[in-house]
A and B are shown apart, each in its own frame.
Chain A
Amino acid sequence: MSDRSHHQPPAWQAPVELEPDREGAGPGEVPPEDDQDDAGSGDEHGFDGLSLRQWSWTLPTFLGGIAALILVTLAFDASDLLSRAFAAGDVLGIAVAALVALVVLTALKLALDELVAVRRLRRIDRFRIEAERLVAGGGHGAAGSFAERLSRFYRDRTDLAPGIEALHASVTDAHNDREIITLIDRQVLAPIDQSAYNAVLRASRDTALATALSPSAALDVVIVLWRNLKLVREVASAYGARPGQFGSWRLMRRMLANLAVAGVAEGLSHVAVDALGGSIAAAISTKLGQGMVNGLLTARIGVASMVLCRPIAFSADNRPTLRRIRSELLSVPKQIL
Chain B
Amino acid sequence: MSAKFPDWNNLAGFGEKVLDQALGHVGTLAGRMLEGNIRLGVTGLRRAGKTVFVTSLIDNLIRGGRLPFMDVVAGNRFLAARLRSSPDRSAPRFAYEKYLANLTSAPPHWPAATTGVAQLRMALRFVPVSSVRRSIQPISTLNLDVIDYPGEWLMDLPMLNQSFADWSSLTLELIEHQPRRQIGARWLHWLSTVSPDRRADESAAKEGAALYTDYLHACRRSQANLSLVQPGRFLEPGELAGAPVLTFCPLPLPATAAGRAGSLWELMSGRYEDYKTNVVRKFFLEHFARLDRQIVLVDVLGMLNAGPAALHDMRMALTACLEAFRHGRGGWLSRLTGGQIDKVLFAATKADHIAASQHGNLKNLLDMLVSEARNAIRFEGATVETMALAAVKCTETVTTEHQGRKLACIQGTPLGRQRPTVLFPGSIPDGPDLFPEDVTQPYRFLDFEPPAGVGRDGRGLPNIRLDQALNFLLGDHLA
Give the interface of A toward B (CB within 8 A).
1, 3-4, 6-9, 12-20, 23-30, 138-141, 166, 169-170, 172-176, 179, 182-183, 186-187, 190
The answer to whether A172 touches B462, judged by C-beta atoms less than 8 angstroms apart, is: yes
Across the interface, which residues of A come within 8 angstroms of B355, CB to CB? 7, 28
Q: How far is the CA of A20 from the CA of B423 in the complex (A)?
A: 9
Are A25 and B398 CB-contacts (below 8 A) given A15-B443, A18-B421, A174-B393? yes
Across the interface, which residues of A come within 8 angstroms of B402, CB to CB? 13, 16, 18, 23
The answer to whether B399 touches A15, judged by C-beta atoms less than 8 angstroms apart, is: no
Q: Is B357 positioned at the interface, with any CB of A under 8 Å from its CB?
A: yes
The answer to whether B400 touches A24, judged by C-beta atoms less than 8 angstroms apart, is: yes
The answer to whether A14 touches B356, judged by C-beta atoms less than 8 angstroms apart, is: no
Q: How far is the CB of B7 from chain A (nearest CB, A)?
A: 27
Q: How far is the CA of A175 from the CA of B390 in the complex (A)?
A: 12
Across the interface, which residues of A come within 8 angstroms of B422, CB to CB? 17-20, 23, 25
Chain B 51-78 near chain A by CB (<8 Å), digits 1 or 0: 0000000000000011011000010000
Across the interface, which residues of A come within 8 angstroms of B68, CB to CB? 166, 170, 183, 186-187
Extra 15 A-B pairs, beta carbons < 8 Å, given A23-B422, A24-B401: A1-B360, A7-B358, A8-B357, A8-B427, A8-B430, A16-B424, A17-B421, A17-B423, A20-B411, A28-B355, A28-B397, A139-B357, A140-B356, A170-B66, A174-B390
Q: Is B318 positioned at the interface, with any CB of A under 8 Å from its CB?
A: no
Across the interface, which residues of B come within 8 angstroms of A15, CB to CB? 423-426, 441-444
Q: Is B291 positioned at the interface, with any CB of A under 8 Å from its CB?
A: no
Interface size class of B (residues with CB under 8 A): 35 or more
Contact among A12, A20, A179, A186 with B436 in the assembled complex (CB-CB below 8 Å): A12
Are A14 and B357 CB-contacts (below 8 A) given A28-B398, A29-B399, A174-B352? no
Q: How far is the CA of A166 from the CA of B407 in the complex (A)?
A: 30
Closest 7 CB pairs of A and B: A28-B397, A15-B444, A25-B398, A140-B357, A170-B68, A7-B357, A23-B400
Output the nearest chain B residue to A31 by Cβ-Cβ distance.
B399
Q: Which B residues from 336 to 360 make CB contacts under 8 A with A?
A: 351-352, 355-360
Q: Is B244 positioned at the interface, with any CB of A under 8 Å from its CB?
A: no
Across the interface, which residues of B come within 8 angstroms of A27, CB to CB? 398-399
The answer to whether A6 touches B427, judged by C-beta atoms less than 8 angstroms apart, is: no
Q: Is B456 positioned at the interface, with any CB of A under 8 Å from its CB?
A: no
Q: How far is the CA of A26 from the CA of B393 in the complex (A)?
A: 19
The answer to whether B427 touches A9, judged by C-beta atoms less than 8 angstroms apart, is: yes
Are A30 and B441 CB-contacts (below 8 A) given A176-B360, A186-B74? no
The answer to whether B74 touches A13, judged by C-beta atoms less than 8 angstroms apart, is: no
The answer to whether A30 touches B439, judged by C-beta atoms less than 8 angstroms apart, is: no
Across the interface, which residues of A come within 8 angstroms of B357, CB to CB? 3, 6-8, 139-141, 176
Q: How far is the CB of A11 from chain B (nearest CB, A)?
A: 9
The answer to whether B427 touches A173, judged by C-beta atoms less than 8 angstroms apart, is: no
Q: Is B420 positioned at the interface, with any CB of A under 8 Å from its CB?
A: yes
Q: Is B115 positioned at the interface, with any CB of A under 8 Å from its CB?
A: no
Q: How far is the CB of A313 from chain B (nearest CB, A)?
A: 19
